[in-house]
Amino acid sequence: MITEEVGVMTHEYIETQRLTLRPLVPADAAALFEIFSDPRVMQYWNTPPWASIACAQAFIDEDRRARAAGELVRFGIFLKESNVLIGKCMLFDHSPSSRRAEIGFGIAASYWGAGYIQEASAALIEHGFNAMNLNRIEAEIDPQNIGSAKALERMGFSLEGLLRERWIVDGIVSDSAYYGLLRQDWLQARARVEG
């Protein structure tokens, strides 16, 4: 159960102060496509911007299959007051035996800088450590993605390494920066805030 100050968890969604995190459904395809066809949003991803709404539809279909198989936890990020889809966040590459998963998030450019990623990710991290009993959450980003690096650091992640020239997307070569957050560090940080 997610604590009240971060959000309330049910089997289908998480609510925070301003957001509802819920699984994506076919009706979300147009809004999802609008977000992830934007080159600004996709600048640091390991895939190019989506070329058609069929990409969004296929993504939602695959997402539903993977969720049903227990392979990942992915939510659309919706503004609570208007139910507008503004992005997505996920825990994926879950290794139950090692009790770890990787976190990822993406948000529409028009909503950057408003703290929505911080709010959604805090609830998702709490879900990972509490409901999924994770010991470690990892993140991989392009080191030039300063916004994501700052967001991860605010969430308590530590930079742990750099893999050079790991991705080639549309002919552009980029490195990967690896971040990690341990359950014990997360608990200690929470105790300091609450103490």
CA angle, 41 then 47 then 61, to 5°? 90
CA trace torsion 184, 188, 194, 195 (10° rounding): 140
Distance, in Å, from the CA atom of 111 to the CA atom of 87, rounded to the nearest integer, reads 9
Decide if pLDDT at 72 tops 60: yes
Write the DSSP string, 1-26.
Answer: ---TTT-EE-SS-EE-SSEEEE---G
Decide if pLDDT at 63 tops 50: yes
What is the percent of the chain with per-residue pLDDT over 90, rounded to a whole number? 61
* pLDDT mean across residues, the chain: 88
Per-residue confidence (pLDDT) for residue 195, from 0 to 100 = 67
| pTM confidence score | 0.85
Say if CB 6 and CB 122 are below 8 A apart: yes
Orientation angle between helical segments 146-154 and 116-130, nearest 10 degrees = 50
Decide if pLDDT at 151 tops 80: yes
Phi, psi of 70 (to 5 degrees): 75, 20
Give the pLDDT confidence of 155-191 residue by residue, as tens digits: 999 999 998 888 787 788 888 899 999 999 999 888 7
Distance, in Å, from the CA atom of 26 to the CA atom of 94, rounded to the nearest integer, reads 25
More confident call, 178 vs 71: 178
Decide if pLDDT at 5 tops 60: no
Decide if pLDDT at 55 tops 80: yes
Distance, in Å, from the CA atom of 54 to the CA atom of 73, rounded to the nearest integer, reads 22
Give the pLDDT confidence of 82-135 residue by residue, as tens digits: 999 999 999 988 898 999 999 999 999 999 999 999 999 999 999 999 999 999
Per-residue confidence (pLDDT) for residue 7, from 0 to 100 = 45
